[in-house]
Structure 1
Amino acid sequence: MTTVLLLALGTCASSLMAATPPASAKPHVPDVVLAPQINAADFAQFDKTLSSDEFGGRKPGTVGAQRVTDWLVEQFERMGLQPGNQGSWFQAVPADSTQLLNTAKVTLDIASHGQQVKLAYHTDMIAETLQAKAQVDLKSSPIVFLGYGIDAPNWHWNDYQGVDVKGKTVIVLVNDPGFATGDPTLFNGRAMTYYGRWTYKYAEAALQGAAACFIVHTSDAAAGYPFSVLQNSGNGPQLSLPASVDPAPRLPVAGWLTRDAATRLFTAAGLDFDQLEKAAAKPGFKPVPLDATASLSLHSKIGHFQSKNVVAMIEGSYKPDEVVIYTAHWDHLGTDLTRKGHQVFSGAIDNGTGLSMLLEIADAFAHQPEPPQRTVLFFMPTMEESGLLGSQYYAAMPVFPLNRTVADIAVDALPIIGRARDMTVIGKGQSELEDLLAGELKKQGRVISPETTPENGFYFRSDHFSFARAGVPAMLASSGLDLLKGGRAAGQKAADDYTAHRYHTPNDVFNPDWDYSGILEDTQALYELGQYLSHPGIWPQWYADNPFRAKREAMMNPPAKPDANAVK
């Protein structure tokens, strides 16, 4: 999942389920007939190879990245698929890399009331520039506490109202007010909205002209991951799309503060952080200027390179211009030579499992008695861990027009923990894709469950969201945790263990003792969903209250072109 996500920062395997239903309500899970190509031996070999040290953690711009993308093409060629981008297996994605060089000396220096507070890089805070500049100096920048840093007209909420933050350092809280209060009428209650995402907060601060934005990691629950995830994700070069591709304003300095660091900073300024945190969640909160300034110097090495989205397809026999997309990112966090012991971020779960599932589904489609009537595209984007950059690029420069794209089905960081009575749909309540998946699961005697931590905003943290934001119905599916052996308690325990000990660490390694029975049933269900969607005339819709519905309707019903012969 994406950097700084549980899914990069992204993603997914740790999403927990709703309360256990009574035993009488649990459906019987019959034996599921799998396509011959969907089997444990192939799945295990795929994941073992993908997470091997040979690929070096699959970091874009490295030798390991070249090896893994070449290997993926070899698998598709062996299966008999075709290149998915006008004769090419790849879509080139330009990228800037920013490698912070002075990490040992970086401190955020706070001057207030004659006091000096030094916040150390990595332990107290994380900082980077989003502008791909070699030298960035923040000098005596006035600090303003902006609550949650949200301007949301639809919620009648504007933390920026009445304050000019140009050239200033803004400090904001992670997540959104609904999470803090639990009030279901405030934003989406405990469920995170896009306004709670770090990507939104940085983008809004840049749009407002801030010189720096620091997000306070108030708790693991509010962020959805421990601060150690940020520390690990910040190692090595940070990637971004060039300004020529993504011209939106970017922050000179973007970063995170631990809760302890924020408390020390506010105390030096004569303020109580805990009290202000509570006040920030109430309607009518006003920004609070601190009698303090911030200084910071970032010296970085800037590089430019191209990474690759991998695209393979099975061409439709009847409607080849209409496409169903399966998505799983191939990249991960690379190798950290400064670590003792195992240095490779193998990413066996994140996202070796998703890639293995797509390869299994591709092989099944390739060996159908009849080809699909619509084209089926297997899309493996790069730079998901850097903020969904590969899928963002595809959504801006699609191989198939978005108004001919039926749907995107994405998988990311799937738990391999045995058979379950359910599958998880992250951010459940988005589109008719969920109804269609429910129909396929019913054949297996299973049901859909939502994640029970919607406050973590997993729906915004994986590559499907690039399609959703562009208007294409998109679903992020994951394995269920209501296990046949041990129920939800066992599933939750396994998910928590992964999050605590392996997610975004070198411990995310292949396990030869995994039980593939459940994930193979999930693979079959998503394969059959794609089969159904590959029939012409089927166009799943967003639900009526979905914010992306209007964009979809506009692309499917473009305004008529002006008549050049019309009388003026």
Structure 2
Amino acid sequence: MRFARLAFLPLLAATPLAAQQISVDTLKTVTKELSSDAYEGRAPTTPGEEKTVAYLIEQFKAAGLKPGNKGSWTQDVPMVEITASNVAPFTFTGGKSPVSMAYRTDMVAATYRVGPSAAVTNSDVVFVGYGITAPEKGWDDYAGLDVRGKTVVMLVNDPDWQTMARDGPFEGRAMTWYGRWPYKYENAAKHGAAAAIIVHDTEPAAYPWAVVKSSWTGPQYELDEAGGHQDQSQVIGWMQLAKARELFASAGKDFDQLSAAAKTRGFRGVPLGVRFSTSFTNTIRKSASRNVIGVLPGTTAPGDYVLYSAHWDHLGRCDAVNGDDICNGALDNASGAAGLVALAQANAKAGPAKRSLLFLAVTAEESGLLGSRYYAEHPVYPLARTVGGVNMDVLAVNGATRDFVLTGAGKSEIEDMVRPLLAAQGRHVSPESNPERGGYYRSDHFSFAKLGVPVLAGDGGEDLVKGGTAAGHAATEDYVANRYHKPHDEYDPNWDWSGAVQDLTVYYQLGRKLADTPGLWPNWYPSAEFRAIRDKDRATAKAGR
């Protein structure tokens, strides 16, 4: 869908911003340091966090920022760590033959509930399609069902994920919030399910089982909130596709037939006539992780804020590959943290803007966007006075590109602001090559979007100046298959940072335009799900002036 360009775009084109030089040395140095084995994969609440936070504060100070939280460089994020052990196999009885699923090999299990153990015994199993309740789309996979105390089995992604265009009820190939696993577990809990299990299928999930296994074993993190999340399902988890087929066959059901039916409006959930059991013990540890916050105060409108964000955390120790059990997270997201430092340097060198510039390095993105979620729900600076900004999650290191990909395109007016900046570099906007990965809902900008703040999400595309789209796509697929959330995401001195510099230059220019134009408040498009809360916040802010 095309949208009218904003009235202020001629101003953008007529007064191009001079870019401050982005330091490649900073990008290399910070990425290499944060992804070294000394930081042990930067897991929250570990010694690796202490080193990471100290290093980022040092870099922010050196760049010329001021402490961003009432004289402090950090914001405490109360966390609870839940580590499952003695995980019993998933067992399904009552069918033609018992089905057992082994931990890590066939399934993974966890819980949001803060307690010494989790158990589900002889719980009736119901297949609920994609597990979606979307009244505005006339879609309810739970219609006519009472799943209180029962186990629900769900498919990953949205019903129309195989539609290559974006014409379907759930935007076709592009994953929506309804396709993301946090939504599915959240919705299952709202319906009272005792357990919620997603069937893993590599293509619609957009990542292999190895990613599920590494992400869902070991310590799991949540925000430490009153009530200990007792409103959530006792058990959540994933099962392998082959085991799901075995389960459905035991229940006398055709998995493929039911999966196809689940893609159609009006689908109704199907009891499988089998019962589910599992149990495990939990080790509970409460602590606080930290967001790192620096600010460059504005001159004439210091109460308005333009945001730059990136997450500093990664997975810490993980499944070993050839004896290496440190998930270093060089690209994901030591590179983004390096970009944050480089942008702080460039902005400090240029001098303060009219509005304040906020630099936020958040924790626990890999645990469900917890650091950005905590900041968004407990902002140091009011979200109603936060103009917008840029989030960085993995910088481009395969060289300069002819294109730029807007993640979740078609949502906010910030997209219209960035297009002329890209055009000035001779670049164009390309559609997401893998919108089924749901990138818009998987990084920290989403925490702000849910509460109304438009934050740009995007990066250099796959049309490499050297090698074209074939080389660019191959590099993306190689990263996802071999390095993403694995020990091999390590710093490489041979990376070509020219693409990252392109993108960071655009981010710098966008941020300065927002910061130097008091009165400019980009909004969401009328069709975006976040428009109403932004309008409400802006009205409140104007009334309070």
Q: Same fold (TM over 0.5)?
A: yes
- Contact 1:330–1:351 (Cα < 8 Å) also in 2: yes
Out of 196, 208, 213, the residue aligned to residue 191 of structure 2 is 208
Q: Secondary structure at the match of 1:470?
A: coil
**Distance (whole Å) between structure 1 residues aligned to residue 458 and residue 168 of structure 2:** 27
Q: Distance in 2 between matches of 1:121 and 1:176?
A: 26
Give the one of 46, 66, 86 matched to 2:30.
Answer: 46
Asked if 1:249 corresponds to 2:227, the answer is no
**TM-aligned CA distance change 1:124 to 1:269, over 3 Å:** same
What is the CA–CA distance in structure 1 between the aligned matches of 2:536 and 2:375, rounded to whole Å? 19
Distance 1:489 1:337 in 2: 31
Cα separation, 2, equivalents of 1:87 and 1:140? 54
Residue 248 to residue 100, structure 1, CA distance change in 2 (3 Å): closer
C-alpha offsets along residues 531-562 of structure 1, whole Å, 9 cap, x if unaligned? 10102111111112111111100111139999
Name the CA distance, whole Å, in 1 between partners of 2:168 and 2:462.
Answer: 29
Contact residue 180 and residue 190 of structure 1 kept, 8 A: yes
CA spacing shift, 1:560–1:343, aligned 2, 3 Å: closer
Map of 2:483 onto structure 1: 502
Aligned CA distance change for structure 1 residues 423 and 245 (closer, same or farther; 3 Å): farther
Q: How does 1:269-418 map to 2 (within 5 A)?
A: 269-336=251-318, 340-368=322-350, 370-418=351-399
Determine whether 1:238 maps to 2:235: no
Q: Which residue pairs with 2:148 in the alignment?
A: 166
Range 246-255 or range 354-363, more displaced: 246-255
Residue 416 of structure 1: how far off its partner (Å) = 0.5
Report the Cα distance in structure 2 between the residues aligned to 1:332 and 1:482, rounded to whole angstroms.
28
1:115: how far off?
Answer: 2.4
What SS does the corresponding residue of 2:326 show, helix, strand or coil?
Answer: coil
- Aligned residue number for residue 56 of structure 2: 72
Q: Does 1:138 align with 2:120?
A: yes
- Please name the residue that 1:101 is paired with: 85
1:420 to 401, 426, 429: 401
Kindly state the Cα deviation for residue 191 of structure 1 after the two structures are TM-superposed.
Answer: 1.7
Contact 2:32-2:491 at 8 Å conserved across structures: yes
Mark the runs of 5 or more structure 1 residues left unpaired by the alignment: 1-31, 563-568
Matches within 5 A, 1:100-119: 100-103=84-87, 106-113=88-95, 115-119=97-101
User: 1:92 matched to which residue of 2?
Assistant: 76
Deviations 1:192-251 (A, max 9, x none): 121111011000000110000001112x22011111100111232100012329968322
Tell me the alpha carbon deviations over residues 370-395 of structure 1, each in whole angstroms, 9 at most, x when there is no partner: 31111100111100000000111111
Contact 1:81/1:314 (CA < 8 Å) preserved in 2?
yes
Residues 453 and 305 of structure 1: CA distance in aligned 2, closer, same or farther (over 3 Å): same
Q: Which amino acid aligns with 1:93?
A: V
Instruction: Determine if contact 2:301/2:356 at 8 Å carries over to the other structure.
Output: yes
Do residues 453 (structure 1) and 434 (structure 2) align? Answer: yes
- Which runs of 5 or more residues in structure 2 are unaligned? 1-15
Distance in 1 (CA, whole Å) between partners of 2:504 and 2:297 is 21
What CA deviation, in whole Å up to 9, does each residue of 1:480-519 have, x standing for no partner?
A: 2111111111110111111111000000000001111121
Task: Tell me, in whole angstroms, the C-alpha distance in 1 between the residues paired with 2:526 and 2:253.
Answer: 45
1:473 aligns with 2:457: no
- Contact 1:216-1:259 at 8 Å conserved across structures: yes
Q: Give aligned pairs, total.
A: 527
2:476 aligned partner, one-letter code:
A
User: Contact 2:390–2:457 (CA<8 Å) still a contact in 1?
Assistant: yes
Q: Is the 8 A contact 1:329 1:382 kept in 2?
A: yes
User: Aligned-residue CA RMSD in angstroms?
Assistant: 2.0
- SS across alignment from 2:352: coil
Contact 2:112-2:229 within 8 A present in 1 as well: no
Q: For 2:134, give the aligned amino acid.
A: A
| 3-state SS, counterpart of residue 197 of structure 2 | strand
Which amino acid counterpart does residue 250 of structure 1 have in structure 2? Answer: Q
Q: Shift in Å at residue 256 of structure 1?
A: 0.6
**Percent identity at matched positions?**
44
1:544 aligned residue (506, 521, 526): 526
Which TM-score applies when normalising by structure 1? Answer: 0.90
Alignment partners' CA distance in 2, 1:262 and 1:407: 43
Task: Provide the residue aligned with 2:412 in structure 1.
Answer: 431
SS class of match (2:119): strand
- 1:486–1:209 Cα change, 3 Å: same
**Contact between 2:174 and 2:435, CA under 8 Å: does it hold in 1?**
yes
1:410-432 deviation per Cα after TM superposition (whole angstroms, max 9, x unaligned): 01022300011122211111111
What letter is aligned with 2:344?
Answer: A
Matches within 5 A, 1:212-227: 212-218=195-201, 220-227=202-209
Q: Cα distance 1:33–1:39, how it changes in 2: closer, same or farther (>3 A)?
A: farther
Q: Match for residue 468 of structure 2? A: 487
SS in 2 for 1:386: coil
Partners of 1:389 and 1:511 lie apart in 2 by 29
Please tell me whether the aligned partners of residues 307 and 382 of structure 1 are also in contact (alpha carbons under 8 angstroms): yes
Give the Cα separation in 1 of the matches to 2:133 and 2:478.
36
The residue aligned with 2:499 is 518
> Residue 135 of structure 1 aligns to which amino acid in structure 2?
S
Aligned residue for 1:8? none
What residue is the counterpart of 1:197 in the other structure?
A: 180
Post-superposition Cα deviations, 1:57-98, rounded to whole Å, max 9, x if no partner, equal 000010010100110000111122101111111010001111
CA distance in 1, matches of 2:410, 2:96: 52
Measured in 2, the distance between the counterparts of 1:339 and 1:193 equals: 33
User: Displacement, 1:114?
Assistant: 6.0
Match of 2:245 among 263, 266, 275: 263
SS of corresponding position for 1:201: helix
**Contact 2:320/2:487, CA 8 A, preserved across alignment:** no
Deviation per residue, 1:265-288 (Å, 9 max, x gap)? 111111111111111111121111
CA displacement at 1:187 relative to structure 2? 2.3
Counterpart in the other structure of 1:26: none
2:214 partner letter:
N
2:13 maps to: none
**Residue identity in the other structure for 1:345:** C
Contact 2:390–2:455 (Cα < 8 Å) also in 1 = yes
**Cα 1:185/1:79, change in 2 over 3 Å:** closer
Residue by residue, what CA displacement relative to the aligned partner does 1:155-212 show, whole Å, maximum 9, x if unpaired?
1011111110000000010011121456824221222121111011000000110000
Tell me what 1:27 maps to: none
Q: Which has the higher contact order (CA 8 A, sep 6+)?
A: 1
Check conservation: 2:26, 2:341, Cα contact below 8 A. Answer: no
Contact 1:113 1:268 in 2 (8 A): yes
Matches of 1:496 and 1:455, distance apart in 2 = 14
Q: Secondary structure at the match of 1:254?
A: strand
